[in-house]
A and B are shown apart, each in its own frame.
Chain A
Amino acid sequence: MSIAADQTQSWLDQHPGAPLAGAGASWLDSARANALALFERIGLPGVRDEQWRYTNLRALKSKLYQPAANSQSDWSLPESDHPRFVLVDGVYNAGLSNLEGVAKGVQFMPLDDAVADSRFDLETRFGSTLPAQQHGFSALNTAYCQGGYVLMLGAGATSKSPLEVLFLNSATDSTADASAISHTRNFIIADANSQCTVIERHQGTDGSVYLHNTITEIIAGDNAHIDHYKIQQDSCDAFHIGGVFIEQARSAQVKTHNLALGGLVARNDVRASLSGEGAHIEMNGLVFGRGRQHVDNHTEVVHAVPHCTSDEYYRSVLDDQSRSVFRGRIIVAQDAQQTNAEQQNNNLLLSAGAEADTKPQLEIYADDVQCSHGATVGQLDPKSLFYLNSRGIDTESARALLTFAFANEVIERIAIESVRDEMTQLIAGALLDGMEELL
């Protein structure tokens, strides 16, 4: 048996008796069996896979895992006026959640409930947004997902208040033999003309080592409007493997905001398939890397039909020895005339040890399209630094201000004021004590 196969088997052995969501639904049982078979065949991705070439999984693979124990009970959550769905170590926690007050026509429920109720028809939707070629983590996710949220919006339903989802990870014991692993699978299914904003927060105590493998599938019906925020503040020793997979029908408008602040290794795939005319996807991303963090963002937009637009804007700020990878693939099918696709990826290196890899990838098969892309890797501009210095602002503060300004170009794209303020405080405060007061 090869080493790779050994490892694959070991990964399978690390999930004995994990609680599975929706157990007993025969379609899901068979989907899980298929995913297991797939995983046995492909295993975890490695540097030989083109899409994982720059993703260093050595630290992730060197750990032993066991299903997260749901061990922490002393959670103190900030107050919130919004409906809130809380998962602890991948499992829905009713006590911490508040699903009251969702708007008419909106249903917000645990994955278990949605699987059990055939009216929601999760059977045909489960996995429908995933790319044909899956990687080992998404196979594991299907095989072992323990929980997740399902948000269903009926035709015309509008949720004025943002819906919040907290993925909490228990503090782990650093002396334990195995680290916690959890898999979550989430759905936002928005029927025609519906509208919602979802804020996913991923959190864990610094110093805790765990692996959270999460997938959110978004199915946007005709003219549905969905804003999806993912605020990833996992422990700086944790591993985060995430996927946001989106299917958009005619004129569906989806915005994703991917704010990657935590994790030792964080990988996020965002993929949108524009399969109805007039669909629009906006993908925003901000990476704030410090220490030895490694943050990967892989985006893919598939323009399958004419008259769709996409707008990608990813920025990384990298300090210390941190590293970011951006891969942005845009596919414009032969029939997808009148496509307008834009992509920007800018990286700011604050230290000599930081590194950014950026790879725009445009595959255009139509002839009447507008596609533009730009990628930069740079440092703070000495002219700007001198300008601020000459106004009396010392070098440390000037650097912090300019770094914030760079990140702020992404923060400004956040539509919800409270989230925008929160990000401003968070980033500004991390750069320089007291700077948030200025802004």
Chain B
Amino acid sequence: MLSVKNLHASVFDTPILKGLNLEVNAGEVHAIMGPNGSGKSTLANVVAGRPGYEITEGTVEYQGKDIREMDASERAGEGVFLAFQYPVEIPGVSNMAMLKAAINSLRKYRGEGEMPAAEFLQLIKEKAALVEMKQELLKRSVNEGFSGGEKKRNEILQMAMLEPTLALLDETDSGLDIDALKIVSKGVNALRSPERAMVLVTHYQRLLDYIVPDYVHVLSDGKIVKSGDKSLALELEEKGYSWIEQELQQAS
């Protein structure tokens, strides 16, 4: 589904990713871990098409299509979704209006007609319940005055509404208390399906207690240096990232 080969990328001219390879198949959940500055968030943002994040070498294919020249809205049209580490506040645009605009844009991209209003209302009611989002927050401006946990739940709500085939979750767990983490995880788990892949970027093993990944990758200095199953995350938790770095040094 997602095939990243020898990816080199710069953020505003600073090289961050230095030859990254990653293969993600439909139905799989991959966790990307690693120390600060290793390039975890950059990977998620490059795949989502953030301006200023430039691919200098390598390829990114999604469902067989080269997506490097597509802008972020086209990638979303293809089914890519990024849950932001720091969701943006947009005063003056209500959550409802943004979601309606987003759904209809995606449908237009895919050559479908607009979603009927009643269907939209039914859908949002159902999905808001999934992430325990109060109805009043739907009418408020996007993320404005939301608590940290509410913002992250709102990201998952958007994901649930837009039904992407590839969800990139950029440190969705950071800053969440245990109750919020459980709600967010419940939302994410509900969206796991054989047709959908997920890439979880996380700094903490804790998230993986609630969302159990099929694969865990460790990123260091812009490359994946170690991959394994969920037990790798537990080992990391125990031994810390320095363990990987020491291993690397010994190898070289």
Contact = CB atoms under 8 A, between A and B. Distances in A.
B71 A395 contact: yes
A372 interface: no
Nearest to B99: A391
Nearest to B79: A392
Contact of A401 (B71, B87, B98, B106): B98
Contacts of B162: 391-392
Contact of B76 (A392, A412, A438, A439): A392
Nearest to A388: B98
A394 interface: yes
Which of B73, B75, B81 has the most chain A CB within a 10 Å cutoff? Answer: B73
Which of A381, A388, A408 has the most chain B CB within a 10 Å cutoff? Answer: A388
A391 B87 CA distance: 12
Interface string A39-57: 0000000000000000000
Interface residues on B, range: 20 to 34
Interface in A351-408: 381-384, 386-395, 397-398, 401-402, 404-408
B49 A401 contact: no
B140 to A, nearest CB: 12
Which of B48, B88, B101, B104 has the most chain A CB within a 10 Å cutoff? Answer: B101
B137 interface: no
Given A401-B93, A401-B98, A402-B93, A389 B88 contact: no
Interface residues on A, range: 20 to 34
Contacts of A408: 92
Contacts of B109: 392
B101 A393 contact: yes
A124 to B, nearest CB: 45
Contacts of A388: 90, 98, 101-102
Nearest to A385: B51
Classify the interface of chain B: helix, strand, loop or mixed.
helix
A409 interface: yes
B72 interface: yes
Which of B82, B87, B93, B94 has the most chain A CB within a 10 Å cutoff? Answer: B93
B88 A409 contact: no
Contact of A390 (B76, B91, B101, B104): B76
Contacts of B51: 382, 386
B92 A392 contact: no
A316 to B, nearest CB: 15
Contacts of B91: 405, 409
Contacts of A395: 71, 73
B76 A389 contact: yes
A331 B113 CA distance: 56
Nearest to A404: B92
A402 B97 contact: no
B25 interface: no
A392 B73 CA distance: 4
Contact of A392 (B93, B94, B105, B141): B105
B202 to A, nearest CB: 19
B92 A406 contact: yes
A407 B93 CA distance: 11
B231 to A, nearest CB: 33
A386 B101 contact: no
B102 A393 contact: yes
B172 interface: no
B213 interface: no
A421 B70 CA distance: 36
Contact of A383 (B76, B88, B101): B88
B100 interface: yes
B98 A391 contact: yes
B77 A392 contact: yes
Contact of A391 (B71, B76, B94, B141): B76
Interface in B151-207: 158, 162
B84 interface: yes
A390 B48 CA distance: 7
Contact of B71 (A381, A382, A389, A412): A389
B50 interface: yes
A395 B77 CA distance: 13
Interface string B2-35: 0000000000000000000000000000000000
A398 B48 CA distance: 16
A390 B72 contact: yes
B152 to A, nearest CB: 14
Contacts of A412: 92
Contacts of B75: 390
Nearest to B76: A392
A393 B100 CA distance: 10
Interface string A324-361: 00000000000000000000000000000000000000
Contacts of A393: 73, 98, 101-102, 105
5 contacts: A389-B72, A390-B84, A391-B102, A392-B76, A392-B105
Give 6 nearest A-B pairs by CB, closest first. Answer: A405-B92, A392-B76, A389-B72, A391-B102, A387-B88, A392-B106
Given A381-B88, A392-B102, A395-B73, 12 more contacts: A389-B72, A390-B75, A390-B76, A391-B98, A392-B76, A392-B162, A393-B105, A395-B71, A397-B105, A402-B90, A438-B104, A439-B94
Interface of A: 381-384, 386-395, 397-398, 401-402, 404-409, 412, 438-439
